[in-house]
Chains A and B, each alone.
Chain A
Amino acid sequence: MANNSSHTTEYVVLARVLLLLMFLTILTISITSYHLGAFTVAITLLIAGTKGYLVLSYFMHLKYESLLLRILVGMVFVLFALIIVITFIDYAYR
């Protein structure tokens, strides 16, 4: 039953992703010089999330894995979000 198929990502794709990650890192730092108020955290989290997606997809090869595995990894993030939301049901109403 073993699924031993492997996928080799082209170096040029990896290099592009690396450049994109570096650009997003610079963006994260430079955004602090703008006064975006409450949106600052949201935007930096969005950038961080995008970077995480790129790392998972390309460097960790999730993009080329089976649908089942992608769903399983996706469920982990859903679970994480649920735990945060439920914790804040306490903090928000205490």
Chain B
Amino acid sequence: MSNGTSKIEYVSYLEHQGKYEGIFSWIFATDHKRIGLLYMYAIITFFFIGAILGLLMKIELIAPGETIMKPQVYNGVFTLHGILMIFMVVIPGLSAVFGNFFLPILIGAKDVSFPKLNRFSWWIFIAGSIMAVASQLMKDGPPDTGWTFYAPYSTSTGTNVIMATAAAFVLGFSSILTGLNFIVTIHQMRAPGMKFFNMPLFPWALYATAWIQLLATPIIGITLLMLIGERLFAIGFFDPTLGGDPLLFQHLFWIYSHPAVYVMILPAMGVITEIIPTFCQKQIYGYKAIAISSLAIAGVGFLVWGHHMYTSGMSENARWFFSLLTFIVAVPSAIKVFNWISTMYKGSIDVKPPFLYALSFIFLFIIGGTTGLLLGSVATNVQVHDTSFVVAHFHYIVFGGMGFAFFAAIHYWFPKMYGKMYDYKRANIAWGIIFLGFNLLYFPQFIIGIEGMPRRYFDYPIQFQTSQIISSIGGFILVSGLILMVFNLIQGARKGKLAPANPWNGSTLEWQIPSPPSLENFDEEPVIKKNPYYYK
């Protein structure tokens, strides 16, 4: 392994003078680290827009009846919130940001296999994002279908469905190309001595994720094209009046969109698996089980899409079969949780901000996961389908899972990315506010969901108001915590103390090189002789 000392003059990737200067040195960058940062700035921007839209929904729901917006505006707001958060934040989030930045470093490579393709993926991502935003501003008005674009409504609504689906189609290409790049990188560019089973577990998670991106994303692409074709030429794929089958859309949509949940959560699990051994100073418990469970989640996760369709009119046999498969997919997820907790047992735990976020991830993911089993069971699903219970479950998994893992990752790798430290105390306070706000925002939605509060409704009976008010207050607390967290990180990047190469005493390769890394990461190719989580 490299010992982190430079034999040649060290210039960080941030200071490196390439062919282009100024903003063009970023737009035309092929360095995986710069591309990772570009994704991060875009994704955080989209996240805050999505969060503001979410807050607007919570303000609307603070009292029954119309509060600040009309019903049609509300439909547009939750649709845009969903499109932004799903397609532009959580799906690319960890993989595109931290995968791009750290995958090559963690496997001892200079860059990804196809740096120019990587840059092209980023450009496609921005083009798709611009199209998604444009769909909100064009003359027919924002789409009002929800992010799921369910047919036959999406084939007939007069809003800008074509532009929004075309945007999702374009964004999909970015995801496919990133996945392809990562698979080839992991196969071809591991450092000498690094076999699959002594590769760090974040790359393992990215590897499983990349296969999903590569195989599942084309399915949503073709489905959205079919939807566009249906709207333009009345072909009759999905519209029953034209001889189509609306359930075909749901099948095709969820064949992609359920594995997409694992595109969000698998890298999140990978991040947590990196953080826990570092802050426990202990070898990861059950390395192979964690690695293989990533592949198992990716594989079985492909086969459970029908649990989104129990009330759609699907056949009884399909319903119990999907329910069985759904319970099976919970097993590898539970293996990971067991291994994380076992790693902590008798470890030298150092409670720093990344570890706090990692702990919160486990807590929130357990709540999200176990409520997922309620939804996976046909009998209970029928009771709570399309209620705010589903909204709560989904946010506990996606925000409590992927979101908190993103925050954990940024606090963990920040010193390496910027070569600066942030203020721990302020980071801890921000974590406390975010954690409190998150639970106040989403937990009441489990309760009113069981009591019958439908999702995506603009109005509700007075009996739900107390929970809705608590939830809205939680929304404000959460956003204020997020603002404090981002402020602290910006302050750290601008005025923070210089970070040492290995501030957390981590054992993986990124901590063996200077902070921030040089353009090609390593002065000399590292040779791997031991497992990645070696602690004395």
- Residue numbers of A with Cβ under 8 A of B are 1-4, 69, 76, 79, 82-83, 86-87, 89-94
Contact A90 B302, beta carbon cutoff 8 Å: no
Closest-CB distance, A42 to chain B (whole angstroms): 23
Contact B316 A1, beta carbon cutoff 8 Å: no
Contact B191 A90, beta carbon cutoff 8 Å: no
Residue of A with least CB distance to B192? A1
Main secondary structure of the interface of A (DSSP, over half): helix
- Residue numbers of B with Cβ under 8 A of A are 187-195, 215, 247, 251, 255, 299, 302-303, 306, 313-318, 321-322
Cα–Cα distance between A76 and B191 once the two chains are bound (Å): 27
Q: Which residues on the B side are within 8 Å of A79 (C-beta)? A: 215, 299, 302
Residue of B with least CB distance to A69? B187
Contact B315 A94, beta carbon cutoff 8 Å: yes
Q: Which residues on the B side are within 8 Å of A82 (C-beta)? A: 302-303
Closest-CB distance, B109 to chain A (whole angstroms): 9
Please name 12 further chain A to chain B contacts, defined as beta carbons within 8 Å, in addition to the given A1-B188, A90-B251, sorted by A numbering.
A1-B191, A2-B188, A79-B302, A82-B302, A82-B303, A83-B302, A86-B321, A86-B322, A90-B247, A90-B315, A90-B317, A94-B314
Known A79-B302, A94-B314: A87·B215 in contact at CB below 8 Å: no
Contact B318 A90, beta carbon cutoff 8 Å: yes
Most chain A CB atoms below 10 A, which of B187, B190, B193, B306? B187
Contact A83 B303, beta carbon cutoff 8 Å: yes
Closest-CB distance, B243 to chain A (whole angstroms): 15
Most chain A CB atoms below 10 A, which of B192, B195, B315? B315
Closest-CB distance, B439 to chain A (whole angstroms): 36
Cα–Cα distance between A51 and B187 once the two chains are bound (Å): 27
Closest-CB distance, A86 to chain B (whole angstroms): 6
Cα–Cα distance between A2 and B215 once the two chains are bound (Å): 24
Q: Which residues on the A side are within 8 Å of B322 (C-beta)? A: 86
Contact A86 B190, beta carbon cutoff 8 Å: no
Contact B215 A76, beta carbon cutoff 8 Å: yes
Q: Which residues on the A side are within 8 Å of B192 (C-beta)? A: 1
Closest-CB distance, B381 to chain A (whole angstroms): 16
Cα–Cα distance between A82 and B303 once the two chains are bound (Å): 8
Q: Which residues on the A side are within 8 Å of B215 (C-beta)? A: 76, 79
Contact of A89 among B191, B195, B318 (CB under 8 A): B318
Contact A83 B255, beta carbon cutoff 8 Å: yes
Contact A3 B188, beta carbon cutoff 8 Å: yes
Most chain B CB atoms below 10 A, which of A90, A93, A94? A90
Cα–Cα distance between A91 and B317 once the two chains are bound (Å): 10
Q: Which residues on the A side are within 8 Å of B303 (C-beta)? A: 82-83, 86
